[in-house]
Amino acid sequence: MDQLTLANPVFVTYAIAASIMVLKIMLQGWITVARMMSNQAGFVSPEDAKAGLANPKPRAGQLEINDDVERSRRIHRNDLENIPAFLAIGLLFVLVAPPLAAAQWLLYGFVAARLAHFAAYSSAQSHEVRASFYTIGSLIVIAMAVWVLAAAIAHL
Amino acid sequence: MDQLTLANPVFVTYAIAASIMVLKIMLQGWITVARMMSNQAGFVSPEDAKAGLANPKPRAGQLEINDDVERSRRIHRNDLENIPAFLAIGLLFVLVAPPLAAAQWLLYGFVAARLAHFAAYSSAQSHEVRASFYTIGSLIVIAMAVWVLAAAIAHL
Amino acid sequence: MDQLTLANPVFVTYAIAASIMVLKIMLQGWITVARMMSNQAGFVSPEDAKAGLANPKPRAGQLEINDDVERSRRIHRNDLENIPAFLAIGLLFVLVAPPLAAAQWLLYGFVAARLAHFAAYSSAQSHEVRASFYTIGSLIVIAMAVWVLAAAIAHL
């Protein structure tokens, strides 16, 4: 069991991909915050519509849906539907010792697909563009899960 | 540290359970997509209501809530509230070296409970049926978390 | 690779922090259930409004939004936006062998920040109070991700 060490290039690949994807999830939260601040709208809790440092001039309607803020929340939800599963299966993938080239294509490919998905969703590209990048990311996670499942079943 | 190897039957159990649960999360996304396509409704982004390959004949109301699509989204959200926590605590559970029988009951039991929950929710069984399977899955995650916490505190 | 063993105090720190955070996610689901039961409202699926053990006296409006229940769901969603990323990056952080003191500050600091966030959100404190605890938790996850990324890149 020396897969999970920085001396293993497959683990290094996973560590880079995983930390970038964790940063992506966290940054999406801050993008939502930035849009709530700049629009002074799209808040979700009644107490957020009260006066305070983050809301110096309360006005009616701040709790209503704001398109800009909602778009960021939808991107975030899509991240949550894909990235935690990737993080878990990616680690298992490292543990079943795949070839380095396969690991690099799948792990970096997922990162590239999700960043492209983010760019397409943020800028409201056509559904087909966004869906293509979603599909690539999803198929990579499915491929790794099938790979791990096959390797594990072979050891039953 | 030779827990995380396919030579360890507890790890094999976890790898099988985890990869099935990752596939479950990903497939739920595709079920939502399939229902949006077949109903041509339940879209969430304004650009999705425009004409395109995935939406050859746009019509009013495609951005309104569709019961079929929403049900799949609720199942997905319920997965996200349970499966990532399971994936993380399951790995820690393997690392504290539980008896194989306990690992098999808990890990495969979670998978069975979640698949039954999916079947009950998809077919709109009574709340009590769905809640029973949710409860089994939830209690298994809680049991593993308490087990890991107790093992770790004993090493403080 | 003997990082992931209870003989390593950094791993013990992570195991304690991670299992508490997994319990936090699961308990939030039960808080939502408890609020739905006590208010007999805030249900989300049509079948939940039918008579049954969990709903002895159905009445109109049970499927409408209930503020109490929604608050619990928002807390849960905020957990899902932060805790799975923490669980994944925390394990990688252990694997790059940080100093024990840094691990204790960051891992226990995250747990403390999230529990304080929960207390502030549950009791509807001002937005600024809740946001401060959110910020601490988020910055800790970002710090660990940058740490892991830097360590991994140094091994390319």
Q: Where are the beta strands (DSSP E) in chain C?
A: none
- CA dist B66 and A139 (Å) reads 26
H or E stretch at C71: helix C67-95
Average pLDDT over chain C reads 95
Size (chain C), residues: 156
- Contacting residues of A for B88, CB less than 8 Å apart: 88
pLDDT band at B142 (very low <50, low <70, confident <90, very high): very high
SS3 B55: strand
Please determine, for residue B75, whether its predicted confidence score (pLDDT) is greater than 70.
yes
Measured in residues, chain B has a length of 156
Interchain pair A89, B12: CB under 8 A: no
CB C110, CB A31: distance < 8 Å: no
Is residue A1 over pLDDT 90? no
Whose tokens are 């609020």? That residue is C35
Amino acid at B139: L
In the block, which residue shows the tokens 């539907």? A81
Q: Is the pLDDT of residue B1 over 60?
A: no
Cβ B12 vs Cβ A155: under 8 Å: yes
Give the residue with greater pLDDT, A145 vs C50: A145
> What CATH code is carried by the domain that includes residue A95?
1.20.120.550
Q: Return the structure tokens found at A74.
A: 């939808």
| Lookup: tokens for B124 | 């709109």
* Host domain of residue A138: 2-154
pLDDT mean across residues, chain B: 95
| Token duo for residue C151 | 């360590």
Higher pLDDT, C49 or A136: A136
Do C87 and B88 lie within an 8 Å CB cutoff? yes
pTM of the model: 0.97
Here the ipTM equals 0.96
Rounded distance between C-alpha atoms, residue B37 and residue B106, angstroms: 37
The answer on pLDDT for A114 being more than 90 is: yes
Q: Which residues of A touch B43 (CB under 8 A)?
A: 127
* CB neighbour burial string for B72-99, b if at least 16 within 10 angstroms, e if fewer: bbebbbbbbbbbbbbbbbbbbbbbbebe
Distances (CA, A) of A19 to A86, B71, C87, C103, C152: 12, 33, 12, 17, 9
Q: Is residue C39 within 8 angstroms of chain B, CB to CB?
A: no
Distance from CA of C24 to the nearest CA of B (A): 10
Residue A2 binned pLDDT confidence (cut-offs 50, 70, 90): confident
pLDDT in tens, A77-93: 999 999 999 999 999 99
Distances (CA, A) of B67 to A56, B28, B128: 40, 15, 20
DSSP 3-state of B10: helix
Q: Mutating which of A4, A13, A20, A26 best tests the C interface, going by the most C Cβ atoms within 10 A? A: A26
Give pLDDT, residue B55: 87
User: Residue by residue, what is the 3-state secondary structure of B61-121?
Assistant: CCCCCCHHHHHHHHHHHHHHHHHHHHHHHHHHHHHCCCCHHHHHHHHHHHHHHHHHHHHHH
Separation of alpha carbons B43 and A130, rounded Å:
13
The helix-helix angle for A127-153 and A100-122 (nearest 10°) equals 150
Number of structural domains chain B divides into: 1
Cβ-Cβ contacts under 8 Å, C127 against chain A: 43, 45, 47-48, 50, 52, 54-55
